[in-house]
Copies of this chain bind each other. A is one copy, B any other.
Amino acid sequence: MTGFIDETTAVLRRTPEVLRSLLVGLPDSWTDTTDAPENGWRPHDVVGHLITGELTDWIERTQRILEDGVSVPFETFDRFAHAERDPDATLDELVEHFVRLRAENLARLDELVSEEDLDRRGMHPSLGEVTLRELLATWAVHDLDHVSQIFAGMAGSHDAEVGPWKAYLGILLRRDDPTAVAG
C-alpha cells in the first residue's frame, strides 16, 4: 500500500520530464500562442508561473504549517511574478530551471514531511484553514492544471492549419467558447 506522499509525489516527480519531452527544442511556431485568446498564457508564462510556485509557494507553505500551524497565515502567492522575473529567459532555459527547482523541492519535502504530518493545519490568507494533505494534493493538481494550459496554447497556435477539422477538436473550440462540444 502506497502512502499519500508517495502517491502525490508520483505526479510531482513526473512534471519535469513531461515538460522536457513536450517543450525542449520545440519550434516557436507551436509555443508563441496563449491558451485563451484573452488574458491567456503562453507556455513561457506557464513554466515561469510553475517556477514561482517552486520558489515561493509549496515548500514555504509546508514549512509554515510545520513551524507555525494556523497561527501565521501563508504569504499570498504572486501569480504574475514570472512576468517581471523571466522575460529574457528562453523557454528551454525556463524548463531546465524548473527541473532543478522541482528536484530540490522534492528532496526538501522528503526531509520535512512524513505521513503523520498530513493532518497538520495551516492558515491560507483567503481560504482559511487548510491541511498539509490538501496543500500537497493541490501542488500536484496545480501542475496538471498548468501543463494542460500549455497543450491549449500549442493547439491554438495551429487553429487555422487544421481547416474544417476544427469542428471535431474540442481543445480549439473551447478557446472560442468554453461550452462548445466537439462534433
Q: Chain A interface (Cβ within 8 Å of chain B)?
A: 2, 6-7, 10-11, 14, 17-18, 20-22, 25-27, 29-30, 124, 127-128, 130-131, 133-135, 137-138, 140-142, 144-145, 147-148, 151-152, 154-155, 158, 161-165, 167, 169-172, 174, 178-179
Contact = CB atoms under 8 A, between A and B. Distances in A.
A134 B169 CA distance: 13
A168 to B, nearest CB: 8
A20 B161 CA distance: 27
Contacts of A21: 14, 17-18, 20-21
B171 A145 contact: yes
Contacts of A140: 158
A144 B134 contact: no
A14 B26 contact: yes
Given A18-B21, A145-B155, A148-B148, A161 B178 contact: no
Q: Report the 3 A-B pairs with minimum CB-CB distance, sorted nearest first.
A: A137-B161, A134-B163, A145-B171
Given A11-B30, A130-B163, A140-B158, 20 more contacts: A2-B27, A10-B25, A11-B26, A20-B21, A134-B162, A134-B163, A134-B164, A137-B158, A137-B162, A138-B163, A141-B155, A141-B158, A141-B165, A142-B169, A144-B152, A144-B171, A145-B155, A145-B169, A148-B152, A148-B155
21 contacts: A6-B27, A7-B29, A11-B26, A14-B22, A18-B18, A20-B21, A21-B21, A124-B165, A127-B167, A131-B163, A133-B161, A134-B161, A134-B164, A137-B165, A141-B161, A141-B172, A145-B155, A145-B170, A148-B152, A148-B155, A151-B151
